[in-house]
Amino acid sequence: MSDKDYTNNEEEEIVEGTVEDTTKEEKKDKDKKDDDEYEKVCTICHRPESTAGKMVDLPNNITVCNDCMQRSFDAMTSGQYDLSQLLNNPNVQIFNMGDMEEQIPKKQKLKKKKEAADVVPLVDINNLPAPHKIKANLDEYIIGQEHAKKAMSVAVYNHYKRVATNTMDDIEIEKSNMLMIGPTGSGKTYLVKTLAKLLDVPLAITDATSLTEAGYIGDDIESVVSKLLAAADNDVEKAEQGIIFIDEIDKIAKKKNSSQRDVSGESVQQGMLKLLEGSDVEVPVGANSKNAMVPLTTINTRNILFICGGAFPDLDGIIQERLMKQSAIGFGADLKDKYKEDPNILDKVTLEDLRNFGMIPEFLGRLPVVVTLQGLGEEMLVSILKEPKNAILKQYQKLLALDEVQLEFNDEALHAIAKRAMKRDTGARALRAIIEEFMLDIMYEIPKDDNIGKVTITKEYIEGTGGPIIKLRTQNVESIATKGKSENE
Ligand SMILES: Nc1ncnc2c1ncn2[C@@H]1O[C@H](COP(=O)(O)OP(=O)(O)OP(=O)(O)O)[C@@H](O)[C@H]1O
Ligand SMILES: [Mg+2]
């Protein structure tokens, strides 16, 4: 799957669109057809047609379900109120149901379910992007993390295949949810975001920090599925084949030494169990809380791929402790300190370590694929500065190029920046902050002087012992001019 493919498709669509829109009549028809794709929703109780049954159509686009209709009749005929006196009551205003039409925006309407035969898998099995192609695409943006990129590519490829076959026979391909562990700023979120750009299955990226057990302040656990539904244009079938990435999953670890009910930790993990495994969940359409007056729908999560990611701070300490305990017994005793400095210690993670961190076994059991990302070393940070398609350096070069100034960084300067970033311990995130700091003066000074043609950032400038090398536009011209003179003489 290359970028070219995408643009081609887009162009085709645009051409089709202009042909279709030639006459107004046809456009009207199209609008109507668009509306037909959505389910009707009861104006009073906000349930969609699929749950509430056939709707009664009233003028002004009002639709009311049978239950609400019956209830209104009952209220009117029970004789409790003298309806003729109603309008004399100072607190009663005539309320026009026609105004309510606008109350249910399209984003809260559900697409109609298709007949079983009409369900088309989102992807064509013959046109699947192979894992190595997915990875090659990721390579353009993400430096290092080879294992994670490989595992992700395979997981996504298999997900495509499962969706494409969509079989219900004996050999059902089961999904394998993933857990992604890596230090802060090592590219977890970035990896998934980049993947999202390349895919055409719906993908929702959500965050575990705000999740709480149902009924407490915060987002319900089902809200993650609700986001996927939104990403799939409220089309339930599409959403049921999507991918959900839950970031910051370590933030729902069991709280230690807490006597209160752990509504945002252990309970959330428990609440997520049935979701991960595959079950029918009721989700609100177009909102993240069931308490809002919005239609609900049922989504089966059996085919939804879940990827959970988190930094798991202090997990390395837990692994070290375990390894040291093991090596303290018997022959390995002298190797005690060998794990202290191991940069790839996360690779040695076991389920036991994660359990000690505060994840419950049932939760871990539902995430069979565990992928670890490495902390970024100096060389990798230098590569991140200059190599990816939208590398930070390229961004600054482009900014200055608009002023017709050339920007260059010495290799030594790049290493000095990477060294500084390593000290901050925030991974690749530190790079941007550091460069921002140094570039401030340069971005401020350069537009002052029209003569500047090229700026070279040096190691001395980064370390504070010197300045950048600045070349004037005239300097090049001069040197050529003098050269010409000397030749003449
Ligand atoms: N391997 C990498 N290759 C290229 N850029 C990277 C890489 N890792 C990180 N970055 C850059 O660093 C930024 C921060 O990374 P990201 O948001 O993925 O961190 P994270 O692993 O999710 O950390 P946290 O656990 O704190 O959320 C990204 O926006 C990206 O620009
Ligand atoms: Mg992140």
pLDDT tens for residues 193-249?
888 888 878 889 988 888 877 777 777 888 889 889 988 888 888 888 889 999 999
Find residue 181's DSSP bridge partners: 310, 372
What pLDDT is attached to residue 53? 85
Taking only the tens place, the pLDDT of each residue in 349-394 is: 999 999 999 999 999 999 999 999 988 889 999 999 999 998 999 9
For residue 40, name the pLDDT band (cuts at 50, 70, 90). confident
- In order, the DSSP letters of 301-338 are -TT-EEEEEE--TTHHHHHHHHHHHHHTSGGGGGGGGG
Determine the straight-line distance between the first and last CA of the chain, rounded to whole angstroms.
Answer: 62
- List the residue whose alpha carbon is closest to atom 18 of ligand 1: 187
Which residue would you say has higher pLDDT here, 134 or 473? 134
Distance 280 CA to ligand 2 centre (A): 29
- Residue 149 Cβ inside 6 Å of ligand 1? The answer reads no
Residue 73 CB-density burial (10 A; 0-12 exposed, 13-18 middle, 19+ buried)? exposed
Distance 312 CA to ligand 2 centre (A): 11
What pLDDT is attached to residue 3? 46
Which ligand 1 atom minimizes the distance to the CA of 431? Answer: 12
- What's the number of CA atoms in the CB half-sphere (13 Å) around residue 406? 9
> Which residues make Cβ contacts (< 8 Å) with residue 101, sequence separation at least 6?
43, 60, 61, 62
Which residue would you say has higher pLDDT here, 398 or 332? 398
What pLDDT is attached to residue 102? 58
Instruction: Please check whether residue 50 is in contact with residue 123, taking contact to mean a CB–CB distance below 8 angstroms.
Output: no
pTM confidence score: 0.73
Phi-psi region of 461 (alpha: psi -120 to 50; beta: other; left: phi over 0): alpha
Instruction: Please check whether residue 308 is in contact with residue 244, taking contact to mean a CB–CB distance below 8 angstroms.
Output: no
Tell me the angle at which helices 146-165 and 131-139 cross, rounded to the nearest 10 degrees.
140
Distance 174 CA to ligand 1 centre (A): 30
- Residue 52 Cβ inside 6 Å of ligand 1? The answer reads no
Ligand number nearest CA of 311 is 1
- Residue 190 Cβ inside 6 Å of ligand 1? The answer reads yes
Q: CB under 8 Å, gap of 24 or more: what pairs does 113-121 form?
A: 113/50, 113/236, 113/237, 114/237, 119/166, 119/237, 121/163, 121/164, 121/165, 121/166, 121/241
> Which residues make Cβ contacts (< 8 Å) with residue 375, sequence separation at least 6?
182, 183, 186, 343, 346, 427
d(CA 49, CA 112): 9
What pLDDT is attached to residue 485? 43
> How many angstroms separate the Cα of 218 from the Cα of each of 46, 234, 294, 321, 463?
23, 23, 18, 35, 46
- Residue 286 Cβ inside 6 Å of ligand 1? The answer reads no
- Residue 148 Cβ inside 6 Å of ligand 1? The answer reads no
Taking only the tens place, the pLDDT of each residue in 139-193 is: 999 999 999 999 999 988 888 888 777 655 667 677 789 999 999 899 998 998 8
d(CA 50, CA 39): 8
Name the nearest CA neighbour of 217 among 264, 258, 256: 264
What pLDDT is attached to residue 101? 54
- Residue 300 Cβ inside 6 Å of ligand 1? The answer reads no
Which ligand 1 atom minimizes the distance to the CA of 310? Answer: 25
Mutation probe of ligand 1 site: the residue of 141, 312, 429 with most atoms within 8 A of C-beta: 429
Q: What is the pLDDT averaged over residues 466-486? A: 62
For residue 83, name the pLDDT band (cuts at 50, 70, 90). low
d(CA 277, CA 367): 9
**How is residue 127 written in tokens?**
């046109």
**How is residue 149 written in tokens?**
């990129």
d(CA 19, CA 151): 44
Taking only the tens place, the pLDDT of each residue in 1-33 is: 444 444 444 444 444 444 444 455 555 565 555
What pLDDT is attached to residue 481? 40
Percent of the chain with pLDDT over 90: 25
- Residue 131 Cβ inside 6 Å of ligand 1? The answer reads no
- Residue 375 Cβ inside 6 Å of ligand 1? The answer reads no
Which residues are in the CB-under-5-Å shell of ion ligand 2? 189
- In order, the DSSP letters of 37-68 are TBPPB-TTT--BHHHH-SEEEETTTEEEEHHH
Distance 389 CA to ligand 1 centre (A): 15
**How is residue 132 written in tokens?**
């190595």
3-state secondary structure of 83: helix
d(CA 467, CA 148): 40
Which ligand 1 atom minimizes the distance to the CA of 311? Answer: 25
3-state secondary structure of 123: coil
What pLDDT is attached to residue 32? 58
Domains of the chain (ranges; CATH) run 3-115 (no CATH), 124-372 (3.40.50.300), 378-488 (1.10.8.60)
- Residue 184 Cβ inside 6 Å of ligand 1? The answer reads yes
What pLDDT is attached to residue 332? 55
d(CA 439, CA 467): 12
Mutation probe of ligand 1 site: the residue of 190, 372, 387 with most atoms within 8 A of C-beta: 190
- List the residue whose alpha carbon is closest to atom 6 of ligand 1: 187
Residue 216 CB-density burial (10 A; 0-12 exposed, 13-18 middle, 19+ buried)? middle
Name the nearest CA neighbour of 208 among 221, 196, 217: 221
Q: Any idea which of 1-5, 261-265, 399-403, 404-408 has the lowest mean pLDDT?
A: 1-5
What pLDDT is attached to residue 290? 63
**How is residue 243 written in tokens?**
């991918």
- Residue 428 Cβ inside 6 Å of ligand 1? The answer reads yes
- List the residue whose alpha carbon is closest to atom 16 of ligand 1: 187
Name the nearest CA neighbour of 431 among 219, 173, 143, 158: 143
For the chain, how many residues are written? 489
What pLDDT is attached to residue 138? 93
**Does residue 418 surpass a pLDDT of 90?**
yes
Instruction: Please check whether residue 230 is in contact with residue 217, taking contact to mean a CB–CB distance below 8 angstroms.
Output: no
Name the nearest CA neighbour of 453 among 401, 398, 410: 401
What pLDDT is attached to residue 456? 92
Distance 428 CA to ligand 1 centre (A): 6
Which residue would you say has higher pLDDT here, 488 or 367? 367
Mutation probe of ligand 1 site: the residue of 146, 189, 383 with most atoms within 8 A of C-beta: 189
What pLDDT is attached to residue 107? 66
Mutation probe of ligand 1 site: the residue of 184, 186, 314 with most atoms within 8 A of C-beta: 186
Which ligand 1 atom minimizes the distance to the CA of 182? Answer: 21
Find residue 63's DSSP bridge partners: 57
> Locate tokens 């057990």: which residue?
213
Taking only the tens place, the pLDDT of each residue in 105-150 is: 666 667 666 555 455 555 666 777 889 999 999 999 999 999 999 9
Q: How far is CA 426 from the centre of its chain?
A: 20
> Which residues make Cβ contacts (< 8 Å) with residue 244, sequence separation at least 6?
203, 204, 206, 224, 225, 227, 228, 304, 305, 306, 307
Which ligand 1 atom minimizes the distance to the CA of 426? Answer: 26
Q: Any idea which of 55-64, 236-245, 322-331 has the lowest mean pLDDT?
A: 322-331
